Amino acid sequence: MQQDIREILIDRYAIQARIFRMAQEIGEAYKDREFLLMPLLTGSIIFVADLVRHLPVRMKIDVLAVSSYRGKVTVNEGARVLYPTTFDVTGKHVLVIDDILDSGRTLMTVTELLKQQGAASIKTCVLLKKKLPIKPAIDADWVGFEIPDEFVVGYGLDFNGYYRNLPDIAVLHKHAMQ
Ligand code: IMP
Ligand code: MG
């Protein structure tokens, strides 16, 4: 696995330091209202596991599975909610968590759906946001790091299902992305 890595963009220590700060801000924002944390599978699992342990506030967690990439494709073709088929967010304050904001289509799809389902409020938090020449379809309320427009893996993010277990955020060599 190590030989596939071209460059480490953000190391594990920088990630932890940033997550601690984000959790403080999120905890402050929700200190007076119970909220529902909605991590998008699978990319956000490691991020959310670290984040919630710094969030000493009343909250629940409900995961949502969304498909955006299939197989080795690295361009988003639009998101689809795969799981659960029904859920109830009526009157709830929802915080959607994703690993990365790219075109914004995933977060857009999910927040639109939550709006339709009658959520009381919807906020979004991502670990990474790509710097793109065009604005994303939706911006996130909390962003961990802005990164260059490169395909990254690690800390939950995958290429073709692999590399989620890398502790750092990294860029792969071309040969690893064939
Ligand atoms: P968007 O819908 O274009 O904003 O893309 C967001 C989704 O695409 C995320 O949930 C990720 O699963 C995936 N994604 C986007 N960029 C990357 C990347 O650089 N590495 C791995 N997954 C990515
Ligand atoms: Mg994802």
In a mutational test of the pocket of ligand 1, which residue from 157, 160, 172, 177 has the highest number of ligand atoms less than 8 Å from its CB?
157
Residue with tokens 């857009």: 108
- Lowest-pLDDT range of 43-52, 59-68, 111-120: 59-68
Question: From the CA of 9, which ligand is nearest?
Answer: 1
Whether the model pTM is above 0.85: yes
CA proximity to 36, closest of 97, 83, 85: 97
When pLDDT is cut at 50, 70 and 90, the band that residue 75 belongs to is low
When pLDDT is cut at 50, 70 and 90, the band that residue 81 belongs to is confident
How far apart, in whole angstroms, are the C-alpha atoms of residue 3 and residue 146?
Answer: 25
**142 pLDDT exceeds 80?**
yes
Contact 6, 173 (CB under 8 A): yes
How far apart, in whole angstroms, are the C-alpha atoms of residue 123 and residue 93?
Answer: 8
pLDDT at 1 (0 to 100): 86
Q: What is the share, in percent, of the chain residues with pLDDT greater than 90?
A: 83
Phi, psi of 93 (to 5 degrees): -90, 110
Digit-coded pLDDT (tens) for 18-52? 999 999 999 999 999 999 999 999 999 999 999 99
Handedness of CA 16, 21, 26, 32 (dihedral sign): positive
Ligand 1 atom showing the smallest separation from residue 150 Cα: 19
- Span 93-115, mean pLDDT? 95
Q: Ligand 1 pocket by C-beta < 6 Å: which residues?
A: 40, 43, 68-69, 76, 79, 98-106, 151-153, 157
Which residues participate in catalysis according to the annotation? Answer: 102
β-strands 142-147, 121-130 pairing? parallel
For residues 82 and 89, the model is more confident at 89
